[in-house]
Amino acid sequence: MTDRSTLIASFLTRAGWGDATRAPLAGDASNRRYERLSRNGEPAVLMDAPPEKGEDVRPFLRVARHLSALGLSAPAILAEDTAHGFLLLEDLGDALYARLVEVAPSCEEMLYIEAVEALI
């Protein structure tokens, strides 16, 4: 087990998710990695943002808390370790706009109007 893997295992144990099953999720254009966790049927997402690779979870925390304070949707922060770059987040699922529009094309305009209204 690598040092990072040991740190992740310790973080998940402290957060009460040490026995969760873990599956990788698609990442983004950064050094962050994501995993979908499942514990007794309850989902969550692990964000691994290594500070030694230039990542910082604090801006994500600020934006998520700001959006929540405005009554907008943001994942709940279930646990955090900012020193090591770990967040345990509410799993908002994978209902992407593209998938929703494939199933219900008539909803496309409404979805994008609501998204823009949430941003302005």
pTM of the model: 0.81
> Between 28 and 43, where is the model more confident?
43
Contact between 12 and 18 (Cβ < 8 Å): yes
**Domain locations in the chain as residue ranges:** 3-93
60/80 Cα distance (integer angstroms): 11
Which pLDDT score, from 0 to 100, does residue 108 have? 86
Listed in sequence order, the DSSP H helices in 1-120 are 3-14, 58-69, 97-103, 108-119
Which pLDDT score, from 0 to 100, does residue 91 have? 94
CATH fold for the domain made of 3-93: Phosphorylase Kinase; domain 1 (3.30.200)
Token output for 95: 């209902």
Q: Which residues have C-beta within 8 Å of that of residue 77, sequence separation ≥ 6?
A: 61, 64, 65, 87, 88, 89, 90
Q: pLDDT tens digit string along 72-105?
A: 889 999 999 999 999 999 998 876 777 778 888 8
Which pLDDT score, from 0 to 100, does residue 75 have? 93
Q: pLDDT tens digit string along 41-59?
A: 999 999 999 999 999 999 9
